[in-house]
Structure 1
Amino acid sequence: MKELGLINQLPIIRFTDNGAYLGLSDGSEVLLPKNYLKGEEKEGDLIEAFIYTDSEDRLVAVTDRPKAILDEFAVLEAKEITSFGVFMDWGLLKDLFVPNSEMAKPMVQGQKYLVRVCLDYRTNRLIGVSKYREFIYPAPKDYLPGNSCEGLIFDKTDLGYKVLLENRYEGLIYANEVFQPIQIGEIRTLWVKKRRDDGKIDLQLLPIGREKYEEGAEMILKLVQEKGFIPLHDKSDPEKIKEMLGMSKKHFKQCIGQLYKAQEIIIHENGISLNQD
């Protein structure tokens, strides 16, 4: 049944006290429970619904959208740990089950993990798989330095933050280049630093080269315009700069140097003010 695990446009075939039955491509029907109906639907209407199995392994349709559909990845929170696997919160009434055999490492309740939604062909059930490397490919060579891309932050290691690109490539933001908060599970615009020989991508949070400093300078200028004065200067403690601006001291000094040369700011011994001339 090709609709399982996907979001589909399905016609209403008939109504019952329990809800509406939607027609499937193989001629069978699936129930959309009445709590998902607005009360204004009629036979023949197309309903956008996600198809999966309920707690009794019966096919069911819902209008809720899961955090990932079949063959997609998402960062999900471990909700319940059992002796045979872990139930993950994927945004639906029934949690997504990750069997022990499909787990990359033991999970901890409340922690977030990268999980792919897969079909278990033995049981015809949707399951989660955290052994993500089986689905990762070398990135194409058009991932060139300076290019921007969207990335899903999915793990933190001593080396840095792991990133999923286009649902199939892996990237890394090095820990010593992170000067702003990053949350596991967030999607960010990132910039390619280098494509490595193994096909993985080194990434960074800000554009490469001069564009980076222009963007940072714009942020500092906006802050000075709003506050009139900020207590940071070229001899400030790096941690104070990172806390207030989310950037390294080197980055900060180059940004204020640009603003000073452009006569946008005045650099004092105790901070920076706007140049009113």
Structure 2
Amino acid sequence: MEELGLVSELPINRFTDFGAYLGLASGDEVLLPQGYLTGDEKEGDLIEVFVYTDSEDRPVAVTERPLAYLDDFAVLEVKHKTSFGAFLDWGLPKDLFLPNSEMGKEMKEGDKVLVKVCIDNKTNRLIGVGKYAGFLDPAPEEFTTGLPLTGLIFDKTDLGFKVLVEDQFEGLLYKNEVFEKIEIGETRTVYIKKRREDGKLDLLLLPPNRTKYDDGAEKILKILESKGSLKLHDKSAPEEIKAELGMSKKHFKQSIGQLYKARKILILPDGIVLNSTN
């Protein structure tokens, strides 16, 4: 079934007491349960649905969206652990099953784990695969120091945080080089510090040689790097600053003072902006 694990736009073939049967590319049908219908649909209408399998491993269509589709990587929380595997919360009524044979490590309820959504060839149902290494490639040799990439934080070890880079490579943020709170499952821009001989990457949260400021100044700087400006200044009301940044006015003034002295920002009458000349 080519629609399994994906979002597809499917036509309504017919209605029953249980819902609507939608036509698949193969000529077969899949049920969209009654609870997903508004009552305004008619035969021939196209409906955008996600197709997976229900608790009895029958194909079913839903209008909800999972946290990950077929062939996607995602960090998902373990809802239930059993003797034969784990069930992961992926945002749908039926949890995603991770068999023991596909677990990359021991886990317990509440853990967040990296999996790839795959089709189990034996049962033809969607499963999570925690043995991720076989899906990854060595980083290209032309990856140079300072290159910005997208990274998914997926595990914490004694050395630091493991990162899935661009859904294709593995990297590491060393804990002695992480100076802010990061969460498992968080997506960050990361920078290459070094490509190791095994093709894995040593990573940084800041570009190499970039000065590290205190937490408040870093927060403001990241907002400015993203938006270009911030409509706050040293005359702004404390309540305004608290609502926007979650910090006191005193902390805000100290932070922008540090950035101003470093010539990273300009303080204007109506706010602050990045100093483009620096």
Q: TM-score, normalization: structure 1?
A: 0.78
Partner in structure 2 of residue 37 of structure 1:
37
Q: Secondary structure of the equivalent of 2:110?
A: coil
Change (3 A) 1:56 1:178: same
Partner in structure 2 of residue 127 of structure 1:
127
Alignment of 1:258-273 (within 5 A): 259-260=260-261, 262=263
Alignment of 1:172-187 (within 5 A): 172-187=172-187
Partner in structure 1 of residue 88 of structure 2:
88
Distance 2:110 2:137 in 1: 29
Give yes or no for the alignment of 1:116 onto 2:116: yes
Question: Gapped runs of 5+ residues in structure 1?
Answer: 234-244, 246-254, 266-277
Give yes or no for the alignment of 1:9 onto 2:5: no
Partner in structure 2 of residue 275 of structure 1:
none
Alignment of 1:122-271 (within 5 A): 122-210=122-210, 216=218, 219=221, 225=234, 229-230=250-251, 256=258, 259-260=260-261, 262=263
Q: Secondary structure of the equivalent of 1:35?
A: helix
Equivalent AA in structure 2 for residue 50 of structure 1: F
Distance 2:218 2:89 in 1: 37
Change (3 A) 1:114 1:8: same
Change (3 A) 1:18 1:192: same
Distance 1:73 1:124 in 2: 19
Distance 2:106 2:69 in 1: 23
Distance 2:5 2:105 in 1: 25
| Structure 1 position 142, deviation (Å) | 4.4
Partner in structure 2 of residue 69 of structure 1:
69
Q: TM-score, normalization: structure 2?
A: 0.78
| Structure 1 position 147, deviation (Å) | 2.1
Q: Secondary structure of the equivalent of 1:64?
A: coil
Q: How many residues align?
A: 244
Render the CA deviation track for 1:46-95: whole Å, top value 9, x for unaligned: 21111111011111001111111111111111111111111111111111
Q: Secondary structure of the equivalent of 2:137?
A: coil
Give yes or no for the alignment of 1:49 onto 2:49: yes
Change (3 A) 1:176 1:261: closer
Distance 2:59 2:249 in 1: 61
Distance 1:263 1:114 in 2: 37
Q: Secondary structure of the equivalent of 1:259?
A: helix
Equivalent AA in structure 1 for residue 164 of structure 2: L
Partner in structure 2 of residue 59 of structure 1:
59
Q: Secondary structure of the equivalent of 1:118?
A: strand
Q: Secondary structure of the equivalent of 2:260?
A: helix
Render the CA deviation track for 1:75-121: whole Å, top value 9, x for unaligned: 11111111111111111111111111111112111111101111111
Distance 1:116 1:75 in 2: 9
Q: Identity, % of aligned pairs?
A: 59
Equivalent AA in structure 1 for residue 261 of structure 2: Y
Moved more, 111-120 or 138-147: 138-147
Distance 2:97 2:260 in 1: 53
Question: Gapped runs of 5+ residues in structure 2?
Answer: 225-229, 235-240, 242-247, 267-278
Equivalent AA in structure 1 for residue 107 of structure 2: M
Distance 2:123 2:84 in 1: 16
Equivalent AA in structure 2 for residue 190 of structure 1: V
Change (3 A) 1:39 1:211: farther
Residues 217 and 259 of structure 1 are in contact (CA less than 8 Å); yes or no, is this contact kept in structure 2?
no
Distance 2:124 2:38 in 1: 30
Partner in structure 1 of residue 238 of structure 2:
none
Distance 2:8 2:264 in 1: 58
Distance 2:30 2:156 in 1: 41
**How large is the RMSD of aligned CA atoms in angstroms?**
3.0
Distance 2:97 2:118 in 1: 10
